[in-house]
Amino acid sequence: MKIADGVEMLELQARGFAGPTIVHPTLVWDDTMGILIDTGFPDQLPQITEAMDRIGIPLNRLDKVIVTHQDIDHIGSLPDIIQASAHKIDVLSSEEERPYIEGHKPLIKMNRERLSERLASLPMEQRQQVEAMFVNPPKADVDKTVADGEVLPYAGGITVIFTPGHTPGHICLYLDDSKTLVAGDALVVTDGTLQGPNPRATFDLATAMKSVKKLTHYDIKTVICYHGGIYSDDVNKRLAALVSSGD
Ligand SMILES: [Zn+2]
């Protein structure tokens, strides 16, 4: 779905842990470069390339991937994207998320306890698939780490907002030109309404709510939530309401 000139929200169908779901990476580009924010679950490369072809920004236009955080539904197809590209793709993340994305530390939400909990609720064939994902999680080298407030000089400026809580080093990206907030999992859209982070999936909820408050400092026209898609109905007002109800 087109959000603004040079900004598209992708819609990837996936088999999530709790049943079929849609995830929303964001593609940003200008005349000189293409940037993908988050990469879906493992095995979603065909869907990603197809979506990019449809938009007219094929994989060979991609120069950088920014990863909002380490969760499997965000880094899943990262290794495949890097491998499929004919040229080097730079991977960017926060310093805090780097060791997880690079595979030096186990993904924080993928410990044995959580795994058995999740597996118990799945049909047998999907169990095996998920187990394989846990045993051998996707990983990739991070080429550049980004810090809070840093403005990346890509496609009209992309401001990095450090928003820990969902994971220790989660970041949101603010697209300066179109005033679009790429929220990752710092916010979700449920039944058409913008909500704070999903408590069940959040590592540190108190910190995550502080991060939501931080987002109120930006003038936001549209939010892209990785889970739930876009929200554009007086975003700042809605954020203020979320913050005051969380106090
Ligand atoms: Zn997610």
* DSSP sequence for 209-228: HHHHHHHTTS--SEEEETTT
Spacing, Cα 45 to ligand 1 middle (Å): 17
Q: What's the CA-to-centroid distance between 71 and ligand 1, angstroms?
A: 6
Q: How far is the CA of 10 from the centre of ligand 1 (A)?
A: 14
Separation of CA 9 and ligand 1 centre (Å):
15
Residue 239 alpha carbon to ligand 1 centre in Å? 20
**How many angstroms does the Cα of residue 224 sit away from the middle of ligand 1?**
12
Instruction: From first to last of the 247 residues of the chain, give the pLDDT tens digit.
Output: 999 999 999 999 998 767 789 999 999 999 999 999 999 999 999 999 999 999 999 999 999 999 999 999 999 999 999 999 999 999 999 999 999 999 999 888 876 676 777 777 777 777 777 777 777 889 999 999 999 999 999 999 999 999 999 999 999 999 999 999 999 999 999 999 999 998 888 889 999 999 999 999 999 999 999 999 999 999 999 999 999 986 5
Instruction: Using the mean position of ligand 1's atoms as its centre, give its distance from the Cα of residue 68 in Å.
Output: 9
Can you list the alpha helix ranges (DSSP code H) found in 56-144? 72-75, 78-84, 98-101, 112-120, 124-135
Q: How many Å lie between the centroid of ligand 1 and the Cα of residue 217?
A: 23
Separation of CA 62 and ligand 1 centre (Å): 22
- Give 126 Cα–ligand 1 centroid separation in angstroms: 19
Residue in 83, 64, 74, 11 with CA at minimum distance from that of residue 38: 74
Nearest by Cα to 244 from 217, 218, 209, 220: 209
Name residue 191's amino acid: D
pTM of the model: 0.93
User: Within 10 Å of residue 186's Cβ, how many Cβ atoms?
Assistant: 29
Report how far ligand 1's centroid is from the alpha carbon of 175 (Å): 20
Cα-to-centroid distance, 214 and ligand 1 (Å): 20
Distance 115 CA to ligand 1 centre (A): 16
pLDDT at position 201 is: 83
Predicted pLDDT at 247? 56
Two structure tokens written together for 55:
């938009």
- Beta bridge mates, 39: none
Task: Report how far ligand 1's centroid is from the alpha carbon of 152 (Å).
Answer: 23
Q: How far is the CA of 113 from the centre of ligand 1 (A)?
A: 19
Residue 174: its pLDDT value, please?
98
In the reported structure, the alpha carbon of residue 34 is separated from the centroid of ligand 1 by a whole-number distance in angstroms of: 22
What separation in Å is there between the alpha carbon of 184 and the centre of ligand 1?
A: 7
CA of 226 to the centre of ligand 1 (A): 6
pLDDT of the residue at 129:
74
Q: How far is CA 3 from the centre of its chain?
A: 16
Residue with tokens 């999936």: 201
